[in-house]
Structure 1
């Protein structure tokens, strides 16, 4: 797939799938992973991101990252773009990127460096070294507000760079970067902060957004996407208002609820999502009640179901 063509395909919802774990062993539940992917495909998802943060990338071993990527490519079977998450040290990210290529992924997403000491020039070197050593289109996950957006400008000449998943919720900053970015073709700006921020980012230059909600209520995510594309502001803000409590619950505890809200929601409707691995824990009783209220309001809540 040519880079320009792939960049265009990213102008949609990037669905961050789960990595389901068994409750007793916390090993990967492959059958439930397949069910998750099948559900996304059946509901029209066009981009699937295994080993994203909602997929608990940092809780997986390197062998598990490779196997999850391989399985998702197999499950998707060409019905959607697969963007595999990679990261950690430069050699490790390159290793994971090459494994993703061998598995048949369409592109990779480089997670933000997790080193406690990062400089702008060091981040440029980090991303450039990975990008130039992987023969795949690349999306950058840009999340650290302490790093300068000049990093993105410096990396713009790299042809393999086809998208930026921007997750710093500073709209003037994002708008300025998009307007100053030297490449106007072959790059897709993706709101990395899901439905809560998608309308704002979209009007500042993003043409896609990420979603964890799509694993539960894809009709809401796609309704927002279509409304954004059609400048249907009434629908955009109606969906935004409807989904805001869910996204705010995920954002609690400095985003510590991000994954477990998705998993516990799925457990309460019709899907085995399993537990999270450490350091993520189950929801508090208060947050679980809040989640039940949201699901009930959406008409999705099953009664008499034991939560994880």
Structure 2
């Protein structure tokens, strides 16, 4: 059963949506128990929302049974301390099944991955979301928009669906984001920066609030410091803090972003919270040069956070 109502989840989306990794053991099987210290660290640091089965969770590398097991584990580990979003996606039937299972597990809302199908009609995306809405009645929905090419009309229609309370805008197009916000102003939609800390200032300027983060798995207090600065309108401090963690995001962007999860999981290993490897098609392991860069960066992060 969900712990937070629609209004509480909507308010929390103005904060940091932390995308949790999916831990694996030494044989490559999921090891949900290894996630507990990551969850506790994020909650204690002040991260506002946690997300299971997101992209940093390697959602597309997981079997359905693994996705279901991870939302169940995350719900038990979070224990209602912050809202928990459950990512759902892939085929519409699987998305609906996982939506139903996530609601039963106690997720407070669903995050709907944008279908990666090569044949996606704008009206088909609307139908996709409406099917998922029926599979988990009453559960708020957050749309994960990575490609705005479906068009502004479809985006407006998606935002008119009654269960939709938020959109994670994961396209580097702040002017289009501003247009989408303008067109849907009559609805209380949470527009969340979906490209993590580095794009947060630009998205804030366009009208978004909050941002997604994979960094929270490693040093959540740094994400929280950036959010605090942005909420205060202190862009100078926010940009200074972002500059300090930018090398981490540069490492994650290597190999066509194929090192995104690789760097997070390697950092966790180096810090003593081994969550296993990153599954193919992600890159594993890090190259020796990149690994050395990461080690040196983590040493500089031992000091307190200063804006």
TM-score by length of 2: 0.93
TM superposition shift of 1:182:
4.5
Q: Does 1:31 align with 2:33?
A: yes
Secondary structure, aligned partner of 1:49: strand
Match of 1:100 among 99, 102, 107: 102
- Report if the CA contact (8 A) 2:19-2:52 is conserved: yes
Which residue in 2 is equivalent to 1:112?
114
Structure 1 position 40 matched with structure 2 position 42: yes
- Give secondary structure in 2 for the equivalent of 1:146: helix
Q: Which runs of 5+ in 2 are unaligned?
A: none
- Equivalent residues of 1:260, 1:283 under 8 A apart: yes
Q: Distance in 1 between matches of 2:260 and 2:214?
A: 9
Q: 1:288 to 1:130 in 2, by over 3 A?
A: same
Cα-Cα RMSD: 1.5
Q: Give the C-alpha shift of residue 274 in structure 1.
A: 1.2
Find the aligned partners of 1:2 and 1:21 in 2 and give their Cα distance. Answer: 32
* 1:182-212 superposed Cα distances (whole Å, 9 cap, x missing partner): 5332x10111110010111112111110111
Aligned to 1:239: 241
Question: Hey, what's the Cα distance between the residues in 1 that align with 2:50 and 2:98?
Answer: 17
CA distance in 2, matches of 1:234, 1:182: 28
Q: Is the deviation greater in 141-150 or in 6-15?
A: 141-150
d(CA) in 2 for partners of 1:207, 1:256? 27
- Give the 3-state SS of the residue equivalent to 1:163 in structure 2: strand
- Aligned counterparts, 1:85-234, within 5 A: 85-135=87-137, 136-185=139-188, 187-234=189-236
CA distance in 2, matches of 1:129, 1:94: 7
**What is the match of residue 248 of structure 1?**
250
Q: Distance in 2 between matches of 1:65 and 1:183?
A: 35
Give the equivalent residue in structure 1 for 2:85. Answer: 83
Q: Following TM superposition, where does structure 1 have runs of at least 4 consecutive aligned residues deviating by more than 6 angstroms?
A: none
Provide the rounded CA distance (Å) in 2 between the counterparts of 1:122 and 1:12.
30
Q: Is the 8 A contact 1:81 1:106 kept in 2?
A: yes
Contact 1:20 1:30 in 2 (8 A): yes
TM-score (norm 1): 0.92
Q: Unaligned 5+ residue runs, structure 1?
A: 301-308
